[in-house]
Chain A
Amino acid sequence: MTTHNLALPSYHNQSPEVRARFQRIAQRPVVLKVEHLGKSFESVKGTVQALHDVSFQVRRREFISIIGPSGCGKSTLIRILAGLEEHTAGQILLDEQEVTGPGPDRGMVFQGYTLFPWLTVLKNVMFGLEVSSPIRGIAGITIEQEARGWIDMVGLSAFADSYPHELSGGMKQRVAIARALANRPRILLMDEPFGALDAQTRAKMQSYLLQIWKNVDVTIIFITHDLDEAVYLSDRIIVLKANPGEVQEIIEVPVEHPRRPEQFLSQEFLATKKRLEELIHPPREAEELLPVVRMTQIGDEVY
């Protein structure tokens, strides 16, 4: 379905409630500041500019999505934020401190789950607490209780002693979220976390994630290629364009909170989605026609 031809109000129109909420967000302190971030690397074809002059700010407990066409460097961007890749220009400030390298203050949830298969769900969630606790073995019981609390929160207490291979994809991703949150990160980075899940599980996971975000003091940066998902979850959407990866527009989503599945058909929702589609898939002249020769009999039409 494309929204290009629908008559919709502007996505800039915000209801008073939504506008008030954005004003409240603007009062909050900035958690993450990305300034003129660039990334280039050498390849056989010469220097490739993956990211160029990317700047944005994220305030405390905001939910930010990053979307863009394939090859726009959105995965590179989140991996740089996580410290898994190095940037070649600009800087990243977390609470005014420049960050380099990975650290527990920026939790990450990957598309491929990346649970440690040799550890039970409980031990997976305890991992971060154990490796980052300053003294080995301090209050092992406290760590376990803390981990169990996070497992309860994602609704998997019955599976605390199961191994990852015994869980479904959705359950694995819930464990991965619990594991990342157990470290109390300032920012939770999510790299297409629901991309490998079927549509039904994905819808469920989106609702879990909104509930978690509402109840936990965490700021979320979420990468997706699913426009509905971006609009449904986010406060703001950063739209990147490809070659080089640059910020095209930062959209304030005018859909009210709390978000509900019915809103998928609301005017604000569709208006935002229409704008995203214009940015990511500009309208083409006409549908591409394949050079297919008719191979059926006249009268035997499917439509």
Chain B
Amino acid sequence: MARARYFIIWKELDPARRKIFQVCSFVIPLILWAAISYCPAIWHPLMKVSDPGSIGHFRVDALIEKGAFFRENAKALAEQRKPASGVPANPVYLPAPHEVAASFYKAFVTPPRLPDEPWLHESLWHSIKIILWGFLISSVLAVPLGIIGGTYRLFSYLTDPFIEFFRYLPAPAFAALAVAVLGIYDGPKVAIIVIGTFFQQVLMISNTTQRLDPALLEAAQTLGARGFKLFSRVVIPGILPDVYRDMRILLGWAWTYLIVAEVVGNSTGITWFINQQAKYRIYDNVYAAIIMIGIIGLTTDLLLAWFGTQIFTWKSGKRSILSRLRTVYTSARVKQALPQETP
């Protein structure tokens, strides 16, 4: 019944199989992409001309729609002229994986067309700076507000209705305003990200705060904690890992506002690069840049997730490197102590 095991609800797979499937989640789309790119039988709606023959308006390497290509050839054959030859090809906006892979390197070493334009790494760094500033400003305001709103009903009633209303207003709608107030450089871009992130952040963190186990607050009260100590010694440490997790999710959301933010005012950063390359019809660079955003996002998130398990060892149940060292030391002592109930 080995096959049936995969279809038990919520049944965890063994680590080796889990790895295989996780790798497959990237490999399968890659295979699909490769199949469309390299298998001439799949799609390939165009013909790439290798020899124009007698057909006057065909050029070598030109991409001709299949119907037109064969019509012209049939006409040429009927008139006893030399037909054109060519191979099936995909449109220019769908480059093959190897072309995109090559672009990853090529895009970084290709100098910009105009001397005052930024290199790719400069564009990327500019984007990252916009995200970080936007996210930082949003967090500095939203985290305290969310925690206070989640702790004291007064603040929750005072802020929630307005925030619920405001979060439905699309951040890009404020673009024109942001330019008017903050000029055309980085100011309005950061503002779009702040507007896009802030309201969700307040609600999410307020919600997280409210999900703290009330029994812990009661226990602390019976131990003599009250007022601010209750807040600083129970509420804050109790919600910290969940707030951290919220921040990871929200950082991902901030990236989704980036492309909109970067076309506000003068276009900059990775968005400028993408639009510029699309204008030159270098689509492999466009794909490379889009994938780069994904890689930066995923890597950041994985790093933050790992970092989270290191700080909040009590939450994840996983052991930090530090605590593993400690365990080696304590278990030696436990063995000497009386055999207790086993945990």
Give A contacts to B, CB under 8 Å.
82-84, 101-104, 106-108, 110, 112, 114-119, 127-128, 131-132, 155-159, 161-168, 170-171, 179-180, 183, 189, 201, 204
Give B contacts to A, CB under 8 Å.
213, 215-216, 218-226, 229, 233-234, 237-238, 240, 312-315, 317, 326, 330, 333-334, 337-338, 340-343
Question: In the assembled complex, how far is the CB of residue A176 from the closest CB belonging to chain B, in whole angstroms?
Answer: 8
Evaluate contact between B343 and A167: CB separation under 8 angstroms: yes
Evaluate contact between B221 and A168: CB separation under 8 angstroms: no
Selected contact of A110 from candidates B218, B229, B237, B341, CB within 8 Å:
B218
Evaluate contact between B221 and A201: CB separation under 8 angstroms: no
Question: In the assembled complex, how far is the CB of residue B215 from the closest CB belonging to chain A, in whole angstroms?
Answer: 5
Evaluate contact between A128 and B314: CB separation under 8 angstroms: no
CA distance A107 to B223 in the complex (A): 6
Selected contact of A103 from candidates B219, B224, B229, CB within 8 Å:
B224
Evaluate contact between A102 and B221: CB separation under 8 angstroms: yes
| Known contacts A110-B219, A116-B237, A127-B233; is-contact A163 B224 (Cβ 8 Å) | no
Closest residue of chain A to B233 (Cβ to Cβ) is A131
Closest residue of chain B to A204 (Cβ to Cβ) is B341
| Known contacts A110-B219, A112-B215, A168-B342; is-contact A158 B224 (Cβ 8 Å) | no
Evaluate contact between B313 and A158: CB separation under 8 angstroms: no
CA distance A161 to B326 in the complex (A): 9
Evaluate contact between B219 and A118: CB separation under 8 angstroms: no
Question: In the assembled complex, how far is the CB of residue B188 from the closest CB belonging to chain A, in whole angstroms?
Answer: 41
CA distance A162 to B331 in the complex (A): 11
Selected contact of B340 from candidates A101, A158, A180, CB within 8 Å:
A158
| Known contacts A104-B223, A131-B220; is-contact A155 B340 (Cβ 8 Å) | yes
Instruction: Chain A residues near B343: list those with CB within 8 A.
Output: 162, 166-168, 171
Evaluate contact between B337 and A157: CB separation under 8 angstroms: yes
Residue of B223, B234, B237 with highest tally of chain A CB at under 10 A:
B223
Instruction: Chain A residues near B333: list those with CB within 8 A.
Output: 158
CA distance A266 to B64 in the complex (A): 101
Evaluate contact between A132 and B223: CB separation under 8 angstroms: yes
Instruction: Chain B residues near A162: list those with CB within 8 A.
Output: 330, 343
Instruction: Chain B residues near A180: list those with CB within 8 A.
Output: 222-223
22 pairs, CB–CB < 8 Å, chain A vs chain B = A82-B218, A83-B221, A84-B221, A102-B221, A102-B222, A102-B226, A104-B224, A108-B222, A114-B218, A116-B219, A118-B315, A119-B237, A128-B224, A128-B225, A132-B225, A156-B340, A158-B333, A158-B334, A159-B334, A163-B313, A168-B341, A179-B223
Closest residue of chain A to B232 (Cβ to Cβ) is A131
Residue of B220, B314, B330, B334 with highest tally of chain A CB at under 10 A:
B314
Q: Assuming A82-B218, A84-B222, A108-B218, what are 8 further A-B pairs, CB within 8 angstroms? A: A104-B223, A107-B222, A114-B218, A158-B334, A161-B326, A162-B330, A165-B317, A168-B341
CA distance A162 to B223 in the complex (A): 21
Question: In the assembled complex, how far is the CB of residue B259 from the closest CB belonging to chain A, in whole angstroms?
Answer: 39
Instruction: Chain B residues near A204: list those with CB within 8 A.
Output: 341
Instruction: Chain B residues near A118: list those with CB within 8 A.
Output: 237-238, 240, 312, 314-315
Instruction: Chain A residues near B234: list those with CB within 8 A.
Output: 116
Instruction: Chain B residues near A163: list those with CB within 8 A.
Output: 313-314
Evaluate contact between A114 and B215: CB separation under 8 angstroms: yes
Instruction: Chain A residues near B221: list those with CB within 8 A.
Output: 83-84, 101-102
Evaluate contact between B224 and A116: CB separation under 8 angstroms: no
Instruction: Chain A residues near B334: list those with CB within 8 A.
Output: 158-159
Closest residue of chain A to B218 (Cβ to Cβ) is A84
CA distance A110 to B317 in the complex (A): 23
User: Which 4 interchain pairs have the tightest Cβ spacing?
Assistant: A104-B224, A132-B224, A128-B223, A114-B219
Instruction: Chain B residues near A201: list those with CB within 8 A.
Output: 341
Closest residue of chain A to B312 (Cβ to Cβ) is A118
